[in-house]
Chain A
Amino acid sequence: MLPTIFCTGCGIGSVMNFSLRAIHDLNIDMNKTVFVSGIGCSSRVPGYIYSDGLHSLHGRAIAYATGVKLANPELKVIVFTGDGDCGAIGGNHFLHAIRRNVDITVISINNFIYGMTGGQVAPTTPLKSKTTTTPYGNIEYPIDLSMTAKVIGAPYVARWTTAHPVQCINSIKKALQKTGFSFVEVLSPCPTSYGRLNKMGTALDLTKHFKESTINVKLYEKMLAEGKTTDKMVIGDLVDIEKEDFNTKYKKFCGELK
């Protein structure tokens, strides 16, 4: 299967690398793991992994994953999804899977654009960014996936970039060990579509840009305490709480009815 079909410098390969390392370090049984994906560049990932996988409809990855988890709660379900897949077409499923608190791990690879179909504007595209459908700059406000997950009440939310490999692996490990909906957003460079249209250069320049345009959540809280604000994107472990997941609640509920 290798080499992968991703473009030169695409961050999806790195995210796959991080996830597989986290799974390897935790000694997770691959016979009891299912990888689910929707449509998009990011959704090519389960095709490279020797395990059960489900390449589903556009945006419906989380809906399929919910079904897999409810049918067989023993399985570990990992969803690979992109920003368009998770935030636009599958936005509704995303919100309601968090509300239901299904025990799945969602790894969202955010490259700020619809990469596979030629670089159209996505819900996460920053203001004034150029895409093929907004050649004079984007005028719509972007959605922040991690903050959305935090507000609705996901028990684990983390955001990193591909320029922070070790931290990202640790977060994916925590997410995999969490019972309940765990969400890891990874900002990933798309040099072919996003980088080229916005004149941001190659993957090297984009990863440097990520390092400069993000701020760790601990530093950000310090800044807030001092009364300062910043336009930078907040990265780090944003939420880490305990919450009863849907499967245990459902079992309890069935026990009460008998």
Chain B
Amino acid sequence: MIHVNSNYCKGCLLCMEYCPKKVYVKSEKLSKKGVFPPEVKYPENCIKCHLCELMCPDFAIIVEDKDDK
């Protein structure tokens, strides 16, 4: 499960660039901050490498190791 906090996100899109499996796409909706945050479009591709979590300068992404089923 990937959580993106759109209130913290400033739209630098480093997560989108550094995700090896291209899980994210740029959202088409503006967030409250006035930026286009990343949207988790293909969560099934995620390999839990936590690279997006590491690269995010704004602490906006949390990747849970266990999926809720």
Contacts and interface: CB of A to CB of B under 8 A. Distances in A.
A, B bound: yes
Contact of B14 (A18, A169, A203): A203
User: Which applies to chain B's interface (DSSP): helix, strand, loop or mixed?
Assistant: loop
A18 B57 contact: no
A18 B58 contact: no
B14 A165 contact: no
Interface in A4-39: 4, 6-14, 16-18, 21
Contact of B57 (A9, A202, A204): A9
Contacts of A13: 56-59
A204 B14 contact: yes
A3 interface: yes
A121 B32 CA distance: 35
B10 interface: yes
Interface residues of A, number: 24
B35 A18 contact: no
A166 interface: yes
A148 B23 CA distance: 42
B10 A8 contact: yes
Chain A CB within 10 A, most for which of B14, B17, B59: B14
B10 A9 contact: yes
User: Which applies to chain A's interface (DSSP): helix, strand, loop or mixed?
Assistant: helix
Contact of A8 (B11, B51, B54, B59): B11
Nearest to B56: A17
Contacts of A257: none
Contacts of B60: 3
A204 B13 CA distance: 8
Interface in A147-175: 162, 165-166, 169
A3 B10 contact: yes
Contacts of B59: 2-4, 13, 17
A16 B7 CA distance: 19
Interface in B45-69: 51, 54-60
A113 B66 CA distance: 42
Contacts of B1: none
A131 interface: no
Contact of B12 (A3, A16, A203): A203
Interface of A: 2-4, 6-14, 16-18, 21, 162, 165-166, 169, 202-204, 207
18 contacts: A2-B58, A3-B7, A3-B8, A3-B10, A3-B60, A4-B58, A8-B12, A9-B10, A10-B57, A14-B55, A14-B56, A17-B59, A18-B54, A21-B54, A165-B54, A204-B12, A204-B14, A207-B14
Given A2-B8, A3-B7, 20 more contacts: A2-B59, A3-B33, A3-B58, A4-B57, A7-B10, A8-B11, A9-B10, A9-B12, A9-B14, A13-B58, A13-B59, A162-B57, A165-B54, A165-B55, A202-B12, A203-B12, A203-B14, A204-B12, A204-B14, A207-B17
Interface of B: 7-8, 10-14, 17, 33, 35, 51, 54-60
